[in-house]
Amino acid sequence: MGRWEPDARGRLEQAALDLYLERGFESTTVAEIAERAGLTERTFFRYFADKREVLFSGSAILKELLVQTALDAPSAATPIEAVAAALEAVGAVLQQRGQGAQKRRRVITANAELRERELVKMASWASALADALRRRGVPDPTAALTAEAGIAVFRVAFERWVQRPKKHDLPRLIGESLDQLKAVTAGRS
């Protein structure tokens, strides 16, 4: 093992995001990322399996937060309230990441393979959220429906937020979007 480097992971993430935006994801090498971060390739591979993982390694933690928050909601909470709490908890973490989340989004939008990977990630979140609702005793199809619709709302709120992350508050945008979904479905006669 090499010597300890303060916040090596964070420095590698920031260097990678900047390089992906400057040169494109495809054209950037791990050697360049490590150099920009002032670290070695060996240190890079201690944290990430490959350069794509820099963009997706945080997803498992967010999914776990999503599931745990849904499970921890008060037992009196309705399915949509449990989902709202879960989405807002994830939103709060992304809000803190601010510019990093925005840069990540721009990198992913620019690359078809990364866009597909992001779709797979969101589908896996929806599936995990539906499972959490089932563990709360919510039957299907309500569990699947609430989870899938919740993730749809999250995506729309995230797209709005990422345009202007300093101006908007992501958890609040998620709440507003859920209110809008309620208003939209009320338009069904």
Q: Is the peptide bond before 79 cis (omega within 30 degrees of 0)?
A: no
Q: Residue from 151, 162, 170, 174 that binds a second copy (CB under 8 A)?
A: 151
Q: Report the nearest approach of a second copy to the CB of residue 174 (Å).
A: 11
| CA angle (95, 99, 101) in 5-degree steps | 65
- Give the interface size with a second copy as a residue count (CB under 8 A): 38
In this complex, which beta carbon is closest to a second copy, that of residue 22 or of residue 159?
Answer: 159
Cβ-based neighbour number of residue 180 at 10 Å: 13
| CA angle (57, 143, 72) in 5-degree steps | 60
- Which of the stretches 18-26, 66-74, 95-103, 143-151 binds a second copy when contact is defined by CB under 8 A? 143-151
Cβ-based neighbour number of residue 44 at 10 Å: 24
Check binding of 84 to a second copy (CB under 8 A): yes
Q: Report the nearest approach of a second copy to the CB of residue 121 (Å).
A: 10
Cβ-based neighbour number of residue 81 at 10 Å: 15
Interface with a second copy by CB under 8 A: which residues?
78-81, 84, 115-116, 119-120, 123, 126, 141-142, 144-146, 148-149, 151-153, 155-157, 159-160, 177-182, 184-189
